[in-house]
Structure 1
C-alpha cells in the first residue's frame, strides 16, 4: 500500500499491529513513525516507545519486547531499524538472528503492541522466506520517490495540515525552486505557513519571495539565459554562485550534466519512451525528466552536441592548465550564448 494511503489510515485511528516499511525514502518512514506514535502513545519519549537496531541487537529481543505487556497498560510501539534480513546487501553485523521467531510473531502479533520493521533498502531479496512472509502477513509500505501525481497530492496534504493552500502556480514554483526533495520541501512549507497564516494562500509570488533557488535550479536558469542570448543574466547568476563559494568546476559539471539530460530525454522521447520509462532508464527523478521534456524542444540535436562539446573543451582547458577556471566558465557561457537558436 502507498505511503499516502497508510498515512490517512493512521490519522483516522486505523493502526495495524505490524508494519513493514522498505525503500530509499527514509523521510517517509520517519513521518509514518511520528504519526503512529502520535496516535498511539502520544510522544516519542514515552517509555512505551522502544527502538532497536539489528546492527547491534538480536531480533529475538525486539520480538520479546513486543510480546511483553506495556507499562501502565495501553499500547507500546516497538521499532526495529536497519532490518537487513530482507535485503540483497550483505549485513554489516555478525549477530545471528532468529528469523523463525519473527515469522511466528507475525502470524499472531500481540494486540498490545505496534511492531514496526524498517528496511531502508532499494531492493528486497524475494527468495527469502521471511521476505515473502512479511509481504503477505504485515502492512507493507513502499517508501520510494513520488511520481508527479503523488508529489502533488503530498504537497496538498501537507499544506492542509498546516492550515494553508497552494494555487497551481504556487505549487509549480515551489517544485521548480526546491525540486522533489521531500525533506527540503517540508522545511520550506513551514516558512510558507508562517508567512501566509491560517487559511492563507501560497501563490507564485509568495514562493519567489520566500524560497531560494537550489543550486541545480540556478544552473538550470543559467543555461536558459545563456542560450537565449541573455548573457548579462547568466553571468549575474554565475557570479552570485561564486560569491556563495561554489566551485567553478562543480558548476561546469552541473552544466554538462544538464545538457546531457536534455540530449538523452530528447533522444528517448523520439523513440516513444514515456517520461516514467525515461526516468527509470536514466535513474532520474520523474520531476527532473518532466522539466527536461518541457525544455528540450528549444534545442535541435546539432545544437545540443555543440553545447556538450563546448563544455568538454572547457573542462579540458581548465584541467590541463591552459585556462583559469573562473574565466573559462565565463567564456563557456559566452559560447553558449553565441550558438544561435533555430
Structure 2
C-alpha cells in the first residue's frame, strides 16, 4: 500500500501487527513510525518501545522482545532497523540471523506487539522466501519518491495539519524552489504556517518572499536566464552563489548534469516516452522531468551537444591548470547565452 493510505489507517487507529517499510525515503518511514507510536504506546520514552539494528543485533533478540508481554499491559512496539535480509545488500557485521524463526513469527504474530521492519534500500530481492512472505502477510509500505499527484496530496495534508492551505500557484512555486526534498519542505512549511497564521492561504508571492531557492533550483534558473539571452541575470545568480562559498567546480558539475538531463529528456520525448517512464529510466523525480520537458524545446540537439562538450572542455581546462575556475565557468555561461536556441 502507499504511504498515504497506510498513514490514514494508522490515524484512525487501525494498527497492523507487522509493518514492512522499504525504499529510499527514510523520512516517510520515520513519520509513519512516529504515528504508530502515538497511536499505541504514546511517546518515544515509553519502555514498551524498543528499537534494534540488524547491523549489531541478532534478529532472534528482536523476535524474543516481540514475543514478550509488554510492561504494565497495553501494546509493545518493536522496531527493526537496517533490515537488509530482504535485499542483496551484504551485511557489514557477520551475524547469523535466523530467518526461519521470522517466518514462523509472521505466521503467528504476537497480538500484544507491533513489529516494524525498516529497509532503507531501493530494491528488494524478490527471489527470497522471506521477502515473499512479508509482502503477503505484513502491511507493506513503499517509501519511494512521490510522483506529482502524491506530492501534491502530501503537501495539502501537511498544510492542513499545520493549520493553513496552499493556493495552486503557491504549492507549485514551493516545489519549484525545493523539489521533492521532504524534510526541507516540512521545515519551510513551518515557516509559512507562522507567517500566514491559522486558516491562512500560502500563494506564490508568499513562497517567493519566504523560501530561498535550493542550489539545484538556482542552477536551473541560471541556465534558464542564459538561454533567454539574459546573461546579466544569469551572472548575478552565479556571483551570488560564489559569495555563498559555492565551489565553481561544483556549479560546473550541476550545470553539466542539467544539460545532460535536457538532452536525455529531449531524446526520450522524441521516442514518445511518458514523463513517468522518463523519470523511472533516468532515476529522477517526476517533477524534475516535468520542468526539463518545459525547457527542452528551447534547445536544438546540436546546441545541447556543443554545450555538453563545452562543459567537458571547461572541466578539463580547470583541472589541467589552463584556466582559472571562476572565469572558466563564467565563460561557459556566456557560451550558453550565445549558442541560443529557438
Deviation at 1:94, TM superposition (A): 1.4
Q: Find the aligned partners of 1:253 and 1:109 in 2 and give their Cα distance.
A: 50
Q: Find the aligned partners of 1:255 and 1:125 in 2 and give their Cα distance.
A: 36
- Which residue in 2 is equivalent to 1:159? 159
Deviation at 1:93, TM superposition (A): 1.9
- Which residue in 2 is equivalent to 1:188? 188
Deviation at 1:47, TM superposition (A): 0.7
Deviation at 1:123, TM superposition (A): 1.4
Deviation at 1:341, TM superposition (A): 3.1
Report the RMSD for the aligned CA atoms in angstroms: 1.1
- Which residue in 2 is equivalent to 1:136? 136
- Which residue in 1 is equivalent to 2:62? 62
Q: Find the aligned partners of 1:277 and 1:234 in 2 and give their Cα distance.
A: 31
Which digits, 9 at most, give the CA deviation of each residue in 1:261-284, with x for residues without a partner? 111100110001111111121121
Deviation at 1:318, TM superposition (A): 1.7
- Which residue in 2 is equivalent to 1:78? 78
In the alignment of these two chains, the number of paired residues is 342
Deviation at 1:242, TM superposition (A): 0.3
Q: Find the aligned partners of 1:121 and 1:231 in 2 and give their Cα distance.
A: 42
Normalized against structure 2, the TM-score is what?
Answer: 0.97
Normalized against structure 1, the TM-score is what?
Answer: 0.97
Which digits, 9 at most, give the CA deviation of each residue in 1:88-109, with x for residues without a partner? 1112221111212211111111
Q: Secondary structure at the match of 1:39?
A: helix
Q: Find the aligned partners of 2:120 and 2:251 in 1 and give their Cα distance.
A: 31
Q: Secondary structure at the match of 1:127?
A: coil
Q: Is the 8 A contact 2:223 2:255 kept in 1?
A: yes
Q: Is the 8 A contact 2:299 2:340 kept in 1?
A: no
Deviation at 1:330, TM superposition (A): 1.3
Deviation at 1:48, TM superposition (A): 0.7
Q: Find the aligned partners of 1:314 and 1:64 in 2 and give their Cα distance.
A: 59
- Which residue in 1 is equivalent to 2:150? 150
* Consecutive aligned runs of 4 or more in structure 1 exceeding 6 Å deviation: none
| 1:3-18 equivalent positions in 2, closer than 5 A | 3-18=3-18
Q: Is the 8 A contact 2:222 2:233 kept in 1?
A: yes
Structure 1: gaps of 5 or more residues: none
Which digits, 9 at most, give the CA deviation of each residue in 1:186-237, with x for residues without a partner? 1111111111111111100111111110111101111111111111111110
Deviation at 1:339, TM superposition (A): 2.0
- Which residue in 2 is equivalent to 1:333? 333
